[in-house]
Chains A and B, each alone.
Chain A
Amino acid sequence: MSLLEVRDLKVTYGSGAAAVPAVRGVDLTLEPGTKLGVAGESGCGKSTLALALLRLLPASARIEGEILLDGEDVLAMSWGRLRAVRWAGASIVFQGAMHSLNAVHRIGDQIAEPLLVHGRATPAAARKRVGELLEHVGLPAARAAAYPHELSGGQRQRVMIAMALACDPRLIVADEPTTALDVMIQAQILRLIERLVAEQSISLLMISHDLAVLADTCDRLAVMYAGRVVEEGPARAVYEAAEHPYGRALSSAFPRIGDLASRRAPRGLPGDPPDPADLPGGCTFHPRCPVAVDACAEQDQELREAGAGRRAACVHVGSTS
């Protein structure tokens, strides 16, 4: 059984005429012990997706579909069951740990909190476990007494990771875990996440706008555009030879080390991401698409098979172009 299975997930903010669809029918599958990357521009719904997994969205958001975590539908859980699953079943490493940690509590107490809430440890045992967790993420155990503002950005992200590991979850959702960090620290944090996930065979769902980072870390990749997955497949393959024109634009937006051509002229994508409240008809990508044909403005494109374990939502996929 898959560890996480998202079926036709739709998230809408607001209602009536003001309804904004942020996620418009997403299917994802994550096998135990594997790493899935979700890529996309800001506003494509990827963070909404992350929050929806544990029903952390504000009350104004309407969620439809199914989120099966270990076979159990998160969306159908009672509040008590949901609280028990949060952090213990799946934990989240949030973006920008400055604001994701509580400024007035010591980090040790914040790491210990889920242990105590889920009854995993007595207060004394929790203190000991906090020390171990900190050492595990490369921080001295004594830092447990520090407040978040006394740590650097990278150290705070380590704390966030230690916290995510506290209850030995089977799944960690990492939402832009390295976005606010400088490149050196970014690499360290990625290696750390990779190492810990491999050591404890935790599954990872990593969300980022940086395709290169995801391709480097994950086994499989899903590219999101305007609230939908437009391409998915093995990470390397998607990164190096995307089937969907948006996937190609995304992977060439970051100059590759050693590739002088891309370094001199990094290719971007013209235009802005579409406004989720006012999506273009047909294929939502067609106004920005360099290879759009007339049919793209009319026909919505569904994901279709595009080679071994790959799917893409483009009219050119599968055709003999």
Chain B
Amino acid sequence: MTTASTPADVARAEKARATDGAPRTGSSLGYLRHAAGKVGGALVSLLAVLVTSFFLFRIIPGDPVKAMTHGVPTSAEQLATLRRQFGLDLPLWQQFTDYCAKALSGDLGTSFQFRAPVGDLIAEKLPATLLLTGVAVVIYSALGLWLGTRSAWRHGRLGDKLNTGIALTLWSVPSFWLGLILIIVFSVGMGPIPGLFPTGGMESGTGETGFAYALDVAHHLVLPVVTLVAVGYAQTLLVMRSSLLDEMGGDYLTTARAKGLRDDVVRRRHAVPNALLPTVTMIFINLGHVAAGSILVETVFSWPGLGGLFYQALSVPDLPLVQGLFVVFAGAMILMNLIADLLYPLLDPRVGR
């Protein structure tokens, strides 16, 4: 740096200072490095999940073969044959290496109870779950963001108190109870309210196609989605509210107001983007839960999704199926976290550069 003593020197130093000593600007390379690190981390996590899923479910007490033959007279010989078929007679380490070799080639094994490939079983039920929880998460995230923003901006007022009060109350409601109440009121019909929505399932099974089928599915979707949204939006609301409250003392908001911006522009353009990061993290965690679905709500509404399948698999325990489901659930979480990590630098330039 130049040592400036006269005004002219200072002026020259001004210019010099402006061009040198500035931290890096090239950002695309920084982003690639950030992305590569996150993808690598996700792959490591996935491997860890594969290993964990094998051992985790072997700690669960219960003999799958005995459970499957429950109530049916079976000889010790037949049991041994079944064990051999499922590979349960082999030493644990050998079962593990077999499992790993297959899993890495994409084969999650064969279900004990359904005698069908685990991959096929999951693929069959996955769309229903993705549809239900996907729609619910999108709706309650949007609702939570919107209400959380309004609540924080007018914090302490009546609207804010009502808003957070209602959200907290609904959050404390058990989802299966709310589901049942909704069925009683809106499916069975109560008083002047006719039965507006079906009690359960995903379709009427009357062979509609195309648009009519989509409408039918949407009709079935309403109550379970309402249940999930009502119970779930409080979380997004509260996180958005508190992170926006943290930002509201920010000096940059005073700058924005001083510029003559309207209050809603200050909120939308300046405050919300800065408050978004914690909320986005949570939205993606919720999206990660999409595959796992909601066992309770799927059960109440007889939704043909993964939740029910997981319940059936656990009760045996159908080891390959629980393992496979575990890997899929964890994989979805890892994938969503990865997407969130890749998104952060776009939302906040200070991340990952």
Residues on A lying within 8 angstroms of B by beta carbon are: 51, 54, 56, 83-88, 91-92, 94, 96, 99-105, 113-114, 117-118, 138-140, 143, 145-147, 149-152, 154-155, 158, 163, 184-185, 187-188, 191-192, 195
Contacts and interface: CB of A to CB of B under 8 A. Distances in A.
B259 A94 contact: no
B17 A103 contact: no
Contacts of B259: 86-87, 91, 113-114, 117
B74 to A, nearest CB: 66
Nearest to A53: B258
A92 B252 CA distance: 12
B11 A88 contact: no
Given A150-B25, A188-B17, A191-B11, A104 B254 contact: no
Q: Considering the complex of A and B, which 4 residue pairs feature the smallest CB-CB distances, nearest first?
A: A86-B260, A99-B251, A147-B349, A83-B260
B103 interface: no
Contacts of A140: 18-19
B13 interface: yes
| Majority SS at the chain B contact face | helix
B251 A94 contact: yes
Contacts of A158: 18
B17 A151 contact: no
A118 B4 contact: no
Given A102-B274, A104-B349, A188-B17, 14 more contacts: A51-B254, A83-B261, A86-B259, A87-B260, A100-B255, A102-B256, A103-B350, A104-B274, A105-B269, A113-B256, A139-B18, A147-B349, A150-B25, A185-B17
A163 B348 CA distance: 22
B190 interface: no
Contact of B258 (A54, A154, A185, A192): A54
Given A149-B350, A151-B22, A158-B18, A99 B252 contact: yes
A191 B250 CA distance: 28
Nearest to B349: A147
Contacts of B13: 184, 188
A54 B18 CA distance: 31
A193 to B, nearest CB: 12
A154 B261 contact: no
Contacts of A139: 18
Contacts of B62: none
Contacts of A151: 22-23
B7 A191 contact: yes
A187 B4 contact: yes
A192 B7 CA distance: 10
B1 interface: yes
Given A140-B18, A155-B22, A91 B258 contact: yes
Nearest to A51: B254
A73 B80 CA distance: 95
Interface in B47-105: none
B165 interface: no
Interface in B241-293: 250-252, 254-262, 265, 269-270, 273-274
Nearest to A194: B7
Contacts of B7: 191
Contacts of A118: 260
Most chain A CB inside 10 Å of its own CB: which residue of B19, B265, B349: B349
Contacts of B17: 138, 152, 154-155, 185, 188
Contacts of B208: none
A16 to B, nearest CB: 17
Most chain A CB inside 10 Å of its own CB: which residue of B18, B260, B261: B260
Interface string B1-33: 100100100110111011101111100000000
A187 B255 contact: no
B18 A155 contact: yes
Nearest to B350: A149
Contacts of B23: 149-152
